[in-house]
Amino acid sequence: MGNHISYQTSECEILLPGTSGCVKGLQNGTQSRRFAGIPYAQPPVGDLRWRKPQPYPLQQLTAGQPGDTYDATRFGPVCPQPNYSKAVSSHGRPKHTYHEDCLRLNIWTPVPDPQVRNPRWPVVIWFHGGWFQIGDPSQEPGMDPTELISTAQLNAIFIAVGYRLNVFGFLAGEALREESAGQEVGNYGLWDQRIALEWVYQNIAAFGGDPENITISGRSAGAYAVQAQVLYDFRGEMEEAMRNKFRRLYMHSNAIPSQPKTVQDCEPQFDELCQHFGISADLTGAEKLKKLRAISATDLCDAIMKLKHHTFRPVTDGVFIHPGVFNYYRNGSFAAEFKRRGLRLFIGEVRDENTLYAVTNGPEANLESLKLQVSNYYSPATTDRLLRHYVLPDSTDKQEWQSVFGQIIADGQVRAPYRFLVNNLLEHGVDLKDVWRYLIAYRLSFITEKVAPASFGVSHSMDRPIWNYSIMHGPSPAERVLMDDWIRDLVAFVNDQPDYDYGTRSADEYKVMTPEGKIEVQKDGRWDSLLQLMDVFSGLMCRRSAKPSASPSLTLSLLLDNHPACMQRHSLRTSPCVEDGSKHLEGSKLPDLSDAQGQGAMIFVDQPKQLVLMPYFPGTLVRQDPASLSRAPLWDTTIVGLNNRSLIVAQNQEQLVSIFLRDYLPPEASDPKDQSPIHWVKLFPSFSQSVLPVVRTALTALTLAHVASLRKDHNLAQYSRHHYVQAIQQICTLTDIDYVSDLVRSAMILALYEVCAQPSGQEDAWSVHVQAAGKLASESNFATDLLNTQDLRRLRTIEVGSSYS
């Protein structure tokens, strides 16, 4: 089935400015021109594998070419990639040559009017999807943008970008960090895209495009990449002239849900790859990389699906993707920059995003397999949060486990983060007219059972023919009308039509292509719940609208290295813990800090994945080997939460604060001096997200002090304040940090708590904190404009010593 549309194809040429050369492409009748396979960067082969791309100037295209003409009539190679599953491949891909020499552009333009000199068409840059593992920029027949440009009247240049994928584009590890002297590591595919953006900005005028009128866009991983490119443009270290290469963004079915893995998180994947190829762990990083670069692209690609850690994704490298991504959103900085630049966003989803995710690298019917597959997407801490949040099957039905996996990934990659992005922009002052969102719930008739099972519904990427205006696939007459009506929004968006009314009137409304084939503005029934879910993905564990319980929902048993109180034994039976760090303790009575009166239990690790609970003796801390006693500061200890006979281990400070924010939510007090530190943390999300252990320690100590106050435990209060002072002293000496704004805010919240909870010492407390913040701000050239209006109001609140309002 399909429309038989054919074009009279002929060759066409454009002259390259500043040279005597030209680029030869193909013209499809009066519909479009195509210039394919144009290199924008040097081939990333040999020693350039796993390095930032090197630019390929347009003027080099014709060097050594017959007649000074570059032949752009054929598509170039596509990045080598594995074949994931029949479910994915059934969506159809063109036949290509696979090669690492894949950093190429495919450019479609309108056919110029002979009467118009130097046309200035809008430009759409497209990043293809495919989980960052697969995909291509070639646009198989019937899916290319010819009809979109012409019949649908987009009247813009469309550029599809080829970039490195999977192991070629996103391998990360300490060896690569060392090689780059602490600069870029991983994210090579994102760097490719960045170079492509720069190439387009510098050269698209030669093709008739307007470099000041660029829209960047993508589906799935391509949409994720759009958001990453915007973040880099906002926060990256570059000259101002190199910024703002785009004015609009449209993102289909993806966004960034959580802080990407660190390079350290990716080390097991790097090690597994080396082990697969027999590369000794005893070699230096440079020696390992030399051997990996000697392996053929085919062998590397074939190895991917044989790895446990088979998914290679963007990482937090501190250069392209910085730590504290969600701090940057929540403190309003992202929205402020978005608004300052006058950007616009068009974003949305399809109805059944989860069905394709469920069958793509889905788990076996057990928790270990589910955890492994989820961890291929997310950091260990995020994975643990998700597995605690979702209801897991208690059966051995593989489809049930795959269904949960599909829900987790669809919620995390699409549903929750895109709503968060929209809400964040609107909450911080971006106008609704500049943020459009949609839902496609209609399945086109030509997407038959052979293409995708009916059980898939309207699955991830099934909207491609709609957005590409792929009328060659053969929509029914009614569907053709539906596609015409729907695509008008995209045409208006790309062409920046000033008086166009999208039709939505509130943040929780979107435009829907209904299952019946109508277009309506509807309320989003999952708006609130998915915004709350985003807190789980991103690590902000406090609830948005639920009222805290009247008493702490969880008691905390803490390892204290010098607790002055007399500790007594508790009878707690344990056995080796499962890998997710939790264990149900059958038949055990758990100690409750609320009535312990200074009693507690000591916890240490004597074997991997095994917890042993022992009586605590004042002045000792048993770690690793029960025979060896040592003392440690509070921020080096292991902290556990006990709730409903479930033991949760915080292996690091991020998990520690997650436990506090998730499970210790005391009631909000009428008197500010009675407020828990958790109350203030909820007002300063960046505090809880800080990567600084001493900042986490200060929160821990303050929370202990609050518990001690409630329980009238003066010894515990004295102990907690001692560690609090130690933490503040450490904070005052820190200068080598990633984000001064986070630390300044941390000092602010600590000061706020001190002023409210300890009014008798407010001058001293204020002096300590403000001096620390001021010292850091001056020594690190902290930009005061990074503090938003709420931050400044809080500073004034602290300064006058009044209660928070």
How many angstroms separate the CA atoms of 592 and 453, rounded?
53
- Cβ(123)–Cβ(200) under 8 Å? yes
- Strands 32-39 and 22-28 come out as antiparallel
How many angstroms separate the CA atoms of 40 and 18, rounded?
18
Residue 55, beta-bridge partner list: 41
Q: Is 108 helix (H, G, I), strand (E, B) or coil?
A: strand
How many angstroms separate the CA atoms of 567 and 591, rounded?
12
User: Residue 515 corresponds to which tokens in the numbers above?
Assistant: 């299952």
- Cβ(387)–Cβ(367) under 8 Å? yes
- Cβ(744)–Cβ(730) under 8 Å? no
Measured in whole angstroms, how far is the alpha carbon of residue 164 from the centre of its chain?
Answer: 18
Helices 527-538 and 380-389 pack at an angle, to 10 degrees, of 140
- Which amino acid is residue 485, in one-letter code? D
State how far the alpha carbon of 58 is from the alpha carbons of 12, 188, 339, 518, in Å: 18, 21, 33, 46
DSSP structural state of residue 199 = H
CA atoms within 13 A on the CB side of 326: 23
Q: What DSSP string describes 748-769? A: HHHHHHHHHH-GGGHHHHHHHH
State how far the alpha carbon of 374 is from the alpha carbons of 228, 371, 390, 774, in Å: 21, 5, 12, 42
How many angstroms separate the CA atoms of 642 and 616, rounded?
17
User: Residue 33 corresponds to which tokens in the numbers above?
Assistant: 């021109």
Burial class (CB in 10 A: 0-12, 13-18, 19+), 778: exposed
- Cβ(226)–Cβ(247) under 8 Å? no
Helices (H), 392-543: 398-410, 416-427, 464-467, 477-494, 527-538
Helices 416-427 and 527-538 pack at an angle, to 10 degrees, of 100
How many angstroms separate the CA atoms of 386 and 537, rounded?
7
Q: Is 454 helix (H, G, I), strand (E, B) or coil?
A: helix
State how far the alpha carbon of 560 is from the alpha carbons of 563, 570, 574, 598, in Å: 6, 16, 21, 11
Among the listed residues 32, 150, 217, 220, the single catalytic one is 220
CA nearest to 353, candidates 420, 439, 437: 439
Q: What share of the chain is helix, strand, coil (3-state, %, to 5)?
A: 40, 15, 45
**Residue 686 designated active-site:** no
Task: Give the phi and the psi of residue 165 in degrees, each rounded to 5.
Answer: -125, 170
Q: Which residues are catalytic?
A: 220
